[in-house]
Structure 1
Amino acid sequence: MADLTTATRETLEDYTLRFAPRSYRKWSTGVVAISALGGIAYLADFAIGANIGIAYGTFNALWGIAVFAVVIALTGFPLAYYSARYNLDLDLITRGSGFGYYGSVVTNVIYATFTFIFFALEGSIMAQGLNLGLGIPLWLGYALSTVVIFPLVVYGMSLLSKLQVWTTPLWLVLMVLPFGYLLVSHPDSVGAFFAYQGEQGQGAPSLGAVMLCAGVCLSLIAQIAEQIDYLRFMPPKTPENARRWWTAMVLAGPGWVIFGAIKQVIGLFLAVYLIAGATGGGASIANQPVHQFLEIYQDIMPGWLAMALAVILVVISQIKINVTNAYSGSLAWTNSFTRVTKRYPGRLVFLGVNLLIALVLMEANMFDFLNTILGFYANCGMAWVVVVASDIVFNKYLLGLSPKKPEFRRGMLYAVNPVGFGSMLLAAGVSIVAFFGGLGEGLRPFSPLVAIVLATVLPPVLAIATKGRYYLRRTDDGITLPMYDEYGNPSGETLACHVCDQEFERPDVVACLTHTAHVCSLCLSTDKTGEHVLPG
């Protein structure tokens, strides 16, 4: 019972393992959207844009960024819609979209990996800023950028929404100022940008180079899961708020890629300017966002103020994104651990685990191997996200082989569904082999395309082959109360769980096998004997 008492402390656990109830979703569509978009304030995009441009030239980098944006928008829309409409995080969506109750554990590990890789990347950028502005050694900067996040994440969405809303205006001004200044005062920088051929002068147009650039950018595909960690708190969609609801969902869901692509282009633009002017070390610092902004600020204002603003921008950006990375990572680890062990240790335990892994990566100087790390990870992230999107679009809506309404509760789902789980393993496995040259050097640059094609095609193929029989273990949860209201939103009616004596909304409970009563999804997750689980 101690595990369940801890789990039900809403202000600390933020509905880690379950549906986000209507009673907790007190934010407007605008606040949810701004909070979600605040999480993309990271400076990693600037580093990614600079790195791929320096390696492959402006032309290839811009086309790679365009491919990235199209893929993210197309795959992100169905996932964001399902989250906002049914108030579920991506793990809960994944369970009922072809993976099964335990099958989605592997995708949680992929997601958790995303969060600590990018936490480490952003922490490294903050450490560079602290080193440059305050002379703090990098190793200590890594530690400081990690420790400062912990207290900010303890109270979950309640604090994060305020943090994102209040810091966004200042962040926007500090980010846009250098780019606007260069366009006005150095118009020749635009020509130099488009003419840039890469550090080795080998930036001739190449489809292979474009796909290599896209592969690095597509490592960010799992960012949609972090957007969804906010979107699940959207208010119910009604005729009165429909326009605001759709606008917020699109902008904060797939729309994040618009801002991400713009930042990557700006990062490359600033890097080319630094290289062309051989300012302060030229190419050696051109991929470091803190130097990118510092050099431009110094052209506009006194050195001391330029340094102060550069450090402030880096610190604000790092905090805005890393509170999200830490929060989302702790949710993913906790969710996986609880399902596998039937024990709930509390989200804060895994918040510490996620931060520790990120700190180890920073101390190992992962910044120097950025392209390789992100290129490899992209294959896993794409396989997962594209498979779920494919299942929603093709199997749910076009073929009707997957239930349209999402299901995530234990006992309602099979342990593993071969449709999504098998598709992801095949797509990720083959694309990783291609990434390392196992399918020939000619196919190596196209490993992202391999992942995307297989992850799109395999779910409907396997759903047809299995006739959709592995989606639902049972279709009736034993409760006669309607699951949805007259507008199709999850019902706000509450039922008591006889195990933990807490009230939960209708979508979060099922009938209990051994009692004439109800049991919540969290108690089902921690039921070690299966005594509450309805038969198949």
Structure 2
Amino acid sequence: MTEILSSAEEAEEGAQPKRQYAPLAANENREDYSLRFAAHSFRKWSPFVVATTALGGIAYLADFAIGASIVLSYGFTSGVLAILAAAVVIFVTGVPIAAACAKSGVDMDLLTRGAGFGYFGSTLTSLVYASFTVIFFSLEGSIMGQAFELALGIPLPIGYLLATLIVLPFALYGMGAVAKMQTWTQPLWLAGLVLPFVVVLVREPGKFAEFAHFGGTEGTGSGFSAIGFGLGMGVALSLIGQIGEQADYLRFMPEKTAENKRSWWAAVLAAGPGWVILGAAKQIGGALLAFLALGVVGKTHALEPIAPYLEAVKPALGPVALTFAALFVVVSQIKINTTNAYSGSLSFANFFSRVLHKHPGRVWYVLVNCGIALALMEFGAFGFLNKILGFYSNVAIAWIGAVCAHLVIVKPLGLSPSYIEFKRAYLHKINPVGFGSMMVASAVSIAAYFGAFGPFLAAFSPLLALVIAIVLVPTLAVVTRGKYYLARPNTVAGPDVDVDLQATYTCSVCGDPYELPDVADCAKQDGPICSLCCTLDNTCHDMCQTTGPVALGLPAVRTT
């Protein structure tokens, strides 16, 4: 390993560090560089393994419930078109985000900081993202609880608790444990996913044609309804935040080289925006199963994935159908809720580290995430699925739209830095370009959602948020001339510095070595500081942004 140390640091080798992290926060096998740049030395997985792990997170059955809810409410034509249109929007906006996270080794929160939101501006999006993981953890946990009740007779409140506890052993550990779990369970999950549709195709192929003429349960009819299309699309677009969970794994992609370029891009596209292709298919498939089971189980249970799934596989599996259906649901929920808990812990940790200047370790925020989700389950969040997701999508799409516009429009125009800067030492607290655009887009679309501009814009409020965010971001970047992206130049690892980015500096606060993209020059310490120690300092008052860069000395290279 090549380690770069300044001459001053070499003289102080062996000195007692000024900060010692709690054992859980210091264990990178659990922390997974949760608040940091993902070090090149830690990215030991192949593109295939990273992609498989990321795609394991889309095993959720909320897709079945979401698709069923949309099509049962608005009919086949409007509902399916809404699902497909939302999938196109999610895929297009997800491509630049996935590529940026994979190239830069940062998660969604760190990307957002440098993509027009500023250091504290992105705390809001941390909560938006955390709420996404909590909402979907509660929805998925509710589905597992329903499976426990149907298969084992366990009351729902106890089933919800079990659904929460069962994922903790996986979520408390990091990428290594999650990668193994997702890889081992993938074949069983894929077999279970395909089975009900194969059974229907073999036994009742005519049902597919009947489904295509289904008019819904609310009298909307089988024809196209613009309002139904818009409302259904709004529900499906609530899943746009899923790209954040994919990015939490994509940051571990190995560096792109001439040798792995094709596999690298294939993995990024498949595990990044590619999740929505299978996701849309699952939504339509879930709607089909709900339609087939509607006359047997009723509308309420048709929206609960376990009941329609059971009815579909029962003719083929007979007496073991219930056991198999319950097993499929449990495996699916473990796969997705491990990801929800893992990603939620990253987001909560990012938020509280900046607000409280403390970081006890990512694993504690796993418990926070799961605890809030359990409370939502117990309060019956599943029964308000459409309303929760329809409202949430207005904020989520404004955030994703703003980040996407920065990457696709502002950055190529040279109005922002050519790289993703996420460290406090170099960022303004608030960047009005991204943060302001998101706030305006969210406010207008939420007002539209509640009917302020009539029923048509109420139905299409998430698209209104997307358009406003995409237009405002480059507009504000031009008006502000991009001056709020950087508070000062990065003279340590910026694009104008000719250094080996995989070399390391030793943090003058915690005494640990970190690769250069994770290091800043600190005026208070008069030396290098890692990004997390910089975040947690509550006494410096960002003095480095007024004193200018600190000379770290000519680096001395040594090989160990």
TM-score band w.r.t. shorter chain = over 0.9
Deviates more, 1:359-368 or 1:37-46: 359-368
Residue 57 of structure 1 pairs with residue 75 of structure 2: yes
1:3 positional shift:
3.6
Rounded to whole Å, the distance in 2 between the matches of 1:480 and 1:70 is 35
CA contact (8 A) 1:3 1:343 kept: no
Instruction: After superposition, give the CA deviation of every residue in 1:492-521 in whole Å (9 maximum; x if it has no partner).
Output: 111111111101001000122144531110
1:478 positional shift:
4.3
Q: Which amino acid counterpart does residue 298 of structure 1 have in structure 2?
A: K
Aligned to 1:229: 248
Q: Which amino acid counterpart does residue 102 of structure 2 have in structure 1?
A: A
- Relative to 1, partners in 2 of residues 1:38 and 1:484: Cα closer, same or farther, differing over 3 Å? farther
Aligned to 2:15: none
Rounded to whole Å, the distance in 1 between the matches of 2:84 and 2:417 is 33
Q: Which amino acid counterpart does residue 504 of structure 1 have in structure 2?
A: Y
Rounded to whole Å, the distance in 2 between the matches of 1:331 and 1:338 is 10
SS of the equivalent of 2:529 reads strand
Deviates more, 1:281-290 or 1:239-248: 281-290
Instruction: After superposition, give the CA deviation of every residue in 1:217-254 in whole Å (9 maximum; x if it has no partner).
Output: 11110000000000000001000000000000000001
Rounded to whole Å, the distance in 1 between the matches of 2:134 and 2:358 is 23
Aligned to 2:130: 112
Residue 470 of structure 1 pairs with residue 480 of structure 2: no
Aligned to 1:16: 34
1:284 positional shift:
3.2
Give 1:335's match in structure 2, choosing from 340, 350, 354.
350
Aligned to 1:157: 175
Residue 211 of structure 1 pairs with residue 230 of structure 2: yes
Residue 283 of structure 1 pairs with residue 299 of structure 2: yes
Ranges in structure 1 where 5+ consecutive residues have no aligned partner: none
Aligned to 2:368: 353
Rounded to whole Å, the distance in 2 between the matches of 1:81 and 1:341 is 31
Rounded to whole Å, the distance in 2 between the matches of 1:336 and 1:196 is 45
Give 1:166's match in structure 2, choosing from 175, 184, 196.
184
Instruction: After superposition, give the CA deviation of every residue in 1:440-471 in whole Å (9 maximum; x if it has no partner).
Output: 23321111121111111110011111111100
Rounded to whole Å, the distance in 2 between the matches of 1:482 and 1:430 is 40
CA contact (8 A) 1:514 1:531 kept: no
- Relative to 1, partners in 2 of residues 1:483 and 1:211: Cα closer, same or farther, differing over 3 Å? farther
1:482 positional shift:
7.7
CA contact (8 A) 2:20 2:510 kept: no
1:491 positional shift:
2.2
Residue 424 of structure 1 pairs with residue 438 of structure 2: yes
Q: Which amino acid counterpart does residue 205 of structure 1 have in structure 2?
A: F
TM-score, normalising length from structure 2? 0.92
Aligned to 2:8: none
CA contact (8 A) 2:492 2:516 kept: no
Instruction: After superposition, give the CA deviation of every residue in 1:175-231 in whole Å (9 maximum; x if it has no partner).
Output: 101112212221110111100000133133111211111100111100000000000
CA contact (8 A) 2:118 2:485 kept: yes
Residue 529 of structure 1 pairs with residue 529 of structure 2: no
TM-score, normalising length from structure 1? 0.96
Instruction: After superposition, give the CA deviation of every residue in 1:243-291 in whole Å (9 maximum; x if it has no partner).
Output: 000000000001010010000010011111112xx22x23332111101
Give 2:514's match in structure 1, choosing from 482, 501, 504.
504
CA contact (8 A) 1:22 1:235 kept: yes
Rounded to whole Å, the distance in 1 between the matches of 2:518 and 2:492 is 13
CA contact (8 A) 2:492 2:519 kept: no
Instruction: After superposition, give the CA deviation of every residue in 1:329-369 in whole Å (9 maximum; x if it has no partner).
Output: 11101111111121112222221111111011101111111
Number of corresponding residues: 527
- Relative to 1, partners in 2 of residues 1:441 and 1:236: Cα closer, same or farther, differing over 3 Å? same
Aligned to 2:472: 458
Ranges in structure 2 where 5+ consecutive residues have no aligned partner: 1-18, 547-560
SS of the equivalent of 1:41 reads coil
Residue 299 of structure 1 pairs with residue 315 of structure 2: yes
Aligned to 1:441: 455
Rounded to whole Å, the distance in 1 between the matches of 2:23 and 2:306 is 44
Aligned to 2:282: 263
CA contact (8 A) 1:387 1:456 kept: yes
CA contact (8 A) 2:524 2:540 kept: no
Aligned to 1:245: 264
CA contact (8 A) 1:7 1:344 kept: yes
CA contact (8 A) 1:13 1:156 kept: yes
CA contact (8 A) 2:415 2:482 kept: yes
Rounded to whole Å, the distance in 1 between the matches of 2:511 and 2:542 is 15
1:533 positional shift:
5.3
CA contact (8 A) 1:89 1:229 kept: yes
CA contact (8 A) 1:142 1:359 kept: yes
Residue 148 of structure 1 pairs with residue 166 of structure 2: yes
CA contact (8 A) 2:134 2:370 kept: yes
CA contact (8 A) 2:141 2:163 kept: yes
CA contact (8 A) 1:482 1:491 kept: no
Aligned to 2:323: 308
CA contact (8 A) 1:379 1:431 kept: yes
Give 1:369's match in structure 2, choosing from 384, 408, 413.
384
Aligned to 1:394: 409
Rounded to whole Å, the distance in 2 between the matches of 1:373 and 1:476 is 42
SS of the equivalent of 2:335 reads helix
SS of the equivalent of 1:471 reads coil
CA contact (8 A) 1:61 1:213 kept: yes
Rounded to whole Å, the distance in 1 between the matches of 2:106 and 2:494 is 22
SS of the equivalent of 2:520 reads strand
CA contact (8 A) 2:77 2:224 kept: yes
SS of the equivalent of 1:407 reads coil
- Relative to 1, partners in 2 of residues 1:506 and 1:244: Cα closer, same or farther, differing over 3 Å? same
- Relative to 1, partners in 2 of residues 1:479 and 1:149: Cα closer, same or farther, differing over 3 Å? closer
SS of the equivalent of 2:426 reads coil
